Amino acid sequence: LAPVDLQSRLKELTTLTDRALDELLPPAETGPGRLSEAMRYSVFAGGKRLRPALVLLWTELAGAPIQAGLPAACAVELVHTYSLIHDDLPAMDNDDFRRGVPTSHKKFGEAMAILAGDALLTLAFEVLVRDGLRNSCGARLVEELALASGARGMVAGQVADIDGEKQPPQRNLVEFIHRHKTAALIAGSCRMGVISAKAGSRVLDMASDYGTKLGVLFQMTDDLLDQVGTAEELGKTPGKDAEQGKQTWPAVVGLDKTREEARTLADETQNILADVAGEPARLLRDLAAFVLTREK
Ligand code: IPE
Ligand code: IPE
Ligand code: MG
Ligand code: MG
Ligand code: MG
């Protein structure tokens, strides 16, 4: 478990994010068909809200009030949720459970799941642009999210992940996959917090380094949990990676070595903020330790 004050802070940030997301999403009964119901179903199924928390903590660390980071926090969670819906599709990982409930395509059918994902992705950019009309950093946030989630970021990683199913486990390939499919959006979340605060390049570089390391660490523990976690804790079906021949860290170096390398990476992640004073930096260091030991 996370230290008590990190836990309660994460809870506060989740409440703030969820309230803002609720205002942004179309009411459930809005048509056509079950589109808004499907969008809300996946967003509010109960994710950990790690990425919005990173946006908001980095906004604070960079010296702005938390409110300044809220549009970016919502935008990254919308993109993340779309990526999960599409990741679970039969043509991708073919999963039946996500966030403790049946996957979008199981509940609404494949066509609606694809379209709900499309609509969440598009809404993310609408949110940033609308905020940008009031706020000079909007265009930079749009660029950042596009880079993190597109063909040079998350989508590149997803392509390598799917293609990698046909290849023997290779360390350099796993590193590429983790950096792109997961760390790109996590680093992008940290960077978008800093950009929302209009802070300079020194803090932005720190956010990139911290986010990239934390993102790879996060996917290493995701790979570990797929092998050792329970369906109840994870809210998704474990054991799928081995079954599908995925390129994972344990597939390349084994469970023990993965744990050892994850510990080293958690230390390195914390060290990036070793000399930064204040509560946000302390919470971000604690968060790295939490990601290392997480059980869901
Ligand atoms: C799952 O992300 C997909 C990965 C990139 C590993 P999370 O574990 O953050 O999923 P939620 O948001 O808590 O459901
Ligand atoms: C997903 O990686 C990364 C995304 C971009 C969604 P996984 O396929 O390992 O994520 P889970 O285990 O299904 O959550
Ligand atoms: Mg996948
Ligand atoms: Mg998957
Ligand atoms: Mg996984």
Is 59 a pocket residue for ligand 2 (Cβ < 6 Å)?
no
CA 12 to chain centre: 18
Q: How far is the CA of 290 from the centre of ligand 1 (A)?
A: 14
Q: DSSP letters along 148-170, please?
A: HHSTTTHHHHHHHHHHHTTS---
Nearest bound ligand to the CA of residue 236: 2
Question: What's the pLDDT at 291?
Answer: 98
Identify which of 177, 218, 220, 223 to mutate to test ligand 1's pocket (most ligand atoms within 8 A of the CB). 218
Is 48 a pocket residue for ligand 1 (Cβ < 6 Å)?
yes
DSSP-derived 3-state class of residue 98: strand
Question: What's the pLDDT at 166?
Answer: 87
Q: How far is the CA of 277 from the centre of ligand 2 (A)?
A: 34
Q: Consecutive sets of 10 residues in the chain, 296 residues long: mean pLDDT of each?
A: 83 98 95 95 97 98 97 98 98 98 98 98 96 85 98 98 96 98 98 96 98 98 97 97 97 97 98 97 97 96
Q: How far is the CA of 84 from the centre of ligand 2 (A)?
A: 7
CB 195 within 8 A of CB 72: yes
Q: How far is the CA of 75 from the centre of ligand 5 (A)?
A: 22
**Amino acid occupying residue 213:** K
Q: Could you tell me the pTM of the whole model?
A: 0.98
**First vs last C-alpha separation in the chain:** 10
Looking from the CA of residue 240, the nearest atom of ligand 2 is: 12
Is 36 a pocket residue for ligand 1 (Cβ < 6 Å)?
no
Question: What's the pLDDT at 15?
Answer: 98
Q: How far is the CA of 222 from the centre of ligand 5 (A)?
A: 5
